[in-house]
Structure 1
Amino acid sequence: MFGQYEPNPVDAIKAQITTAMLDMAGVLEPVYDAADGMRKSLEARGWSPAQAEQSAGAWLTVTLVTLAGGAR
């Protein structure tokens, strides 16, 4: 009368994506921490907050692109 429950493939894919995103957030935490440290270090060296933020942001962007591309 009742068949076996088969999970919706879309729900399974959503769960996999969610898990992968949470894993990636954890993996990238040291990279974000390094960018924050770089910004604070530059400010401590006398750089303006705006320039320190821009420089750390540029480094972070290049680093994330490199990681996403697999450092080809």
Structure 2
Amino acid sequence: MSVFGPVTPPTPAELKAQITTAMLDMAGVLEPVYDAADGMKRDLEERGWSPTVAEQCAGMWLASTLSTMAGGGR
């Protein structure tokens, strides 16, 4: 029981709205990270790296960055 009275769980529609809003917020937060990975890949290719290696490097950086963000920066 809450100080403000009983806590009722959200309805399925409310839960869907909360999840949708959270996912849209997360997509907006991650957009600069994805853009940075795309830019890294392009930069490596312009420097003469093969597209395959550039993709692997950018992908590894992206995965590491997303993992760091998911861990709260640790």
**TM-score (norm: length of structure 2):** 0.84
Displacement, 1:65? 0.7
User: How far apart, CA to CA, are the structure 1 residues paired with 2:16 and 2:67?
Assistant: 24
Displacement, 1:9? 1.2
User: How far apart, CA to CA, are the structure 1 residues paired with 2:24 and 2:40?
Assistant: 25
Letter of the structure 2 residue corresponding to residue 20 of structure 1: A
Q: 1:57 aligns with which of 59, 63, 72?
A: 59
Q: 2:33 aligns with which of 31, 34, 48?
A: 31
Unaligned runs of 5+ in 1: 1-7
Percent identity, please. Answer: 71
**TM-score (norm: length of structure 1):** 0.86
Displacement, 1:12? 0.7
Structural RMSD (CA): 1.0
User: How far apart, CA to CA, are the structure 2 residues paired with 1:10 and 1:71?
Assistant: 32
User: How far apart, CA to CA, are the structure 2 residues paired with 1:68 and 1:55?
Assistant: 20
Count of equivalent residues: 65
Letter of the structure 2 residue corresponding to residue 9 of structure 1: T
Runs of 4+ in 1 over 6 A off after TM superposition: none
